[in-house]
Structure 1
Amino acid sequence: MPDTPDTPDMPAAPVTPGTDDAARFDAKAAAWDASPPRRKLTADIVAAMERAGVFRAPVGDALDFGCGTGLLTLELSRRCERVTGLDFSPGMLAALDAKIEAADLQNVATILADLAAGDPFPGRYDLVTSAMVLHHVPDVSPVLARLFAALEKGGRLALADLDSEGGAFHDDNDGVHHFGFDRLELADTLAGLGFTDIDAATAATIEKPIRDGSVRAFPVFLMTARRP
């Protein structure tokens, strides 16, 4: 359930768990794909993955963690043999399932699961991706550990998210548990979990108005790593 809000920001709120995060994303599912900035961000992230060599070798099985309506999932389906979209929002997955059925996609599946809550999910993957999801995860390290365990040996991780931004990005910070990430700190977390070949680059820059009426640029990084 990646997000790129299009409305002006309100003052930053404390980072506290939302009352019902899944329901919040369910309510947004129908209009999710209508956002041109959201679609452009997906294209920019895919381009960054290509520059990072994520698809240089054939990818058998990919997992898109926090897939939402499948904007990234469907791009992966064109570059990987098989892709599974995983999300905790039934409404988001229903939108993706409708796309899969309409296009008769045989290489795309979905899983309803909340990794942060410890829900089980099957499979081992050659690639795990995530786009603008990690800042919605309350405790990042256990989820990243689960993604590490889900990777085959030699499998790649590709995470896209906001650089540290102080809470100005979202118009409503309910359900936002991190105001972006420091790249070095996130890389250290990945290294501590056993990942190697960790690298990061700017994938996109989102320009949007903030409360004082000015326009601020918010960089989005792509961090890649490998399970040895």
Structure 2
Amino acid sequence: MANASQARFNAEAAAWDSNPVTVQSSALAYKSLLEHIPGLNTTNPREDGLDVLEIGCGTGLLSFALHPHVRSLIGVDTAEGMIDVFASKVSSRFPSPGAAAKANITAVNVLLTDPDDFLLQEAAALTRQGRVDRPARFDLVLSHLTLHHIPDMSEILKTMFGCLKPGGRIALTDFEDTGPEAVYFHPEEKREGVERHGIKSEEMERLIKEAGFEEVRVERAFVLEKYVEEEGREKGFPFLICMGRRPA
């Protein structure tokens, strides 16, 4: 993620969860994931649920909604301020001595590099937290409103592929590049560090296939209503969900 974006997210971390648009987009992404990923609907998630990696987890708005549905969830983010807020939530929700270290949800501040290096960084960070029960690979890799900050989409998809178990899946949500008007998703003062103004359906489908995934689907997931300063009105921004499966 670009340095300008890191600086902005660090500065906004403390107030992130009070932004109604951020909260709404995470709620809509959560609903879409439950509709599209059957493994999130198991009746015994601690026994037969999914081990999940969320890239660009932020303060955990989506993570904490999902963690009752999964066996484990590890969030990663390059903005240290976001990880600090995430960690404080874990501590407050699991307050008894040692409970936070045993919880099925945590987050680490690591860089998105090649899969092997990324997993080594992640393992080292989790060890520092006293966690030794991390999965070696994941059943599901998620991201929400992260792809438009990634400089090299091909490389991040390869990293995701390498972090999955055979048969594991990705489910990535972000706003759609519908043309010139997509730039208005971000106010002008927040456009520095944005790598692309939305993602394109056909391009994402091609890149996911090139990364080695099968069963690739890119679909319209939901529409987020957001106030656009330049137009002085609410505007609907469509979101895509991008899915694929690592061959078994």
Percent of aligned pairs with the same amino acid: 31
Structure 1 residues 74-118: Cα deviation after superposition (integer angstroms, max 9, x where no partner): 122111011001000111000000000111151112121121597
How many Å apart are 1:178 and its aligned residue? Answer: 0.7
Q: Distance in 2 between matches of 1:37 and 1:214?
A: 14
How many Å apart are 1:227 and its aligned residue? Answer: 0.6
Pairs within 5 Å for 1:1-228: 18-54=2-38, 55-56=40-41, 58-104=48-94, 106-115=103-112, 120-122=121-123, 123-165=136-178, 166=180, 167-171=183-187, 172-210=190-228, 211-228=230-247
The structure with the larger Rg is 2
Instruction: Output the amino acid matched with 2:111.
Output: D
Computed over aligned residues only, the root mean square deviation of the Cα atoms, in angstroms, reads 1.9
Change (3 A) 1:19 1:66: closer
Structure 1 residues 44-99: Cα deviation after superposition (integer angstroms, max 9, x where no partner): 11111111134246433100100000011112211101100100011100000000
Q: Distance in 1 between matches of 2:65 and 2:18?
A: 17
Structure 1: state its 5+ residue gaps. Answer: 1-16
* 3-state SS, counterpart of residue 197 of structure 2: coil
Structure 2: state its 5+ residue gaps. Answer: 43-47, 95-99, 124-135
| Residues 2 and 149 in structure 2, CA contact (< 8 A), matched pair in contact too | no
Q: Tell me the equivalent position of 2:126.
A: none
How many Å apart are 1:18 and its aligned residue? Answer: 5.0
Which range is displaced more, 114-123 or 65-74? Answer: 114-123
TM-score normalised per structure 2:
0.79
How many Å apart are 1:208 and its aligned residue? Answer: 2.6
| Residues 205 and 219 in structure 1, CA contact (< 8 A), matched pair in contact too | yes
Instruction: Output the amino acid matched with 1:164.
Output: D
How many Å apart are 1:35 and its aligned residue? Answer: 1.6
Instruction: Output the amino acid matched with 2:239.
Output: V
Change (3 A) 1:53 1:81: same
| Residues 64 and 72 in structure 1, CA contact (< 8 A), matched pair in contact too | no
Q: Distance in 2 between matches of 1:49 and 1:79?
A: 11
| Residues 41 and 204 in structure 1, CA contact (< 8 A), matched pair in contact too | no
* 3-state SS, counterpart of residue 50 of structure 2: strand
Q: Which has the higher contact order (CA 8 A, sep 6+)?
A: 1
